[in-house]
Structure 1
Amino acid sequence: MYVCRTDGRHVAWYDREAGRVNLLSEEHGEEVLAVLGPFLTGSVTVGPPPVPTAAELALLSLHPDDDLAPNRPGEALLVALDRDPGPPRRLRPDPRRRALAAERTVGEALDRLEGAGWHTLHSVPLPGGDRIHHLVIGPGGLFCVRSLYARRQRVRVADPMVAVGRHEPRPLLRRLRADADRASYALTAEVRPVLALTEPADLAVPAPLREARVLKDTDLPELARMGGVLKAADVEALHAMARDRHTWARV
Structure 2
Amino acid sequence: MRGLTVLPSGRPGRGRLFVNLPDGRAVAWYDRRANRISLLEEARREAVLAALRPYLRGEPAVGPPPVPTPAERLRLALPPDRDLAPNRPGEPLLGELAYGSPGTRARHRLRRELEARELMGSELDALEAMDWRVLHAVPLPDGRLIDHLLIGPAGVFCVATVAGGRRRVRVGDLLVTVGRADPRPDVRHIRGAAAHAALALRTPVTPVVAVVDASTVEAAPTLRDILVLQPPTAAPYFTTATPTLKPPDPDTLFSLARDTTTWLP
Contact 1:118–1:224 (CA<8 Å) still a contact in 2?
A: no
Q: Does 1:60 align with 2:76?
A: yes
Query: Which residue, out of 95, 118, 134, partners 1:104?
Result: 118
The 5 A counterparts of 1:73-84 are 73-84=89-100
One-letter code of the match for 1:152?
R
- 2: CA distance between counterparts of 1:72 and 1:53? 26
The answer as to whether partners of 1:19 and 1:45 remain within 8 angstroms in 2 is no
TM-score of the aligned structures, taking structure 2 as reference length: 0.74
- Matched residues, number: 219
Deviation at 1:68, TM superposition (A): 0.5
- SS of the equivalent of 2:197 reads helix
1:236 aligns with 2:251: yes
Check if 1:249 corresponds to 2:257: no
Q: 1:181 to 1:94 in 2, by over 3 A?
A: same
Aligned to 1:130: 144
Q: Does 1:51 align with 2:67?
A: yes
Structure 1 segments unaligned to the other structure (5+ residues): 1-12, 23-40
Cα distance in structure 2, aligned partners of 1:178 and 1:21: 42
| 1:116 to 1:177, Cα distance in 2 relative to 1, 3 A | same
Identity of aligned residues (%): 41
Deviates more, 1:205-214 or 1:133-142: 205-214
Structure with max Cα Rg: 1
How far off its partner does 1:165 sit?
A: 0.6
Larger RCO, structure (CA 8 Å, separation 6 or more):
1
1:161–1:171 contact (8 Å) kept in structure 2: yes
1:33-182 to structure 2, matched below 5 A, reads 50-87=66-103, 90=104, 94-182=108-196
Shift of 1:219: 1.6
CA distance in structure 1 between the aligned counterparts of 2:36 and 2:124, rounded to whole angstroms: 30
Which ranges of structure 2 fall in alignment gaps of 5 or more residues?
Answer: 1-27, 39-57
SS of the equivalent of 2:129 reads helix
TM-score for the superposition, normalised by structure 1: 0.78
Question: Where does 1:177-196 land on structure 2 (aligned, <5 Å)?
Answer: 177-196=191-210
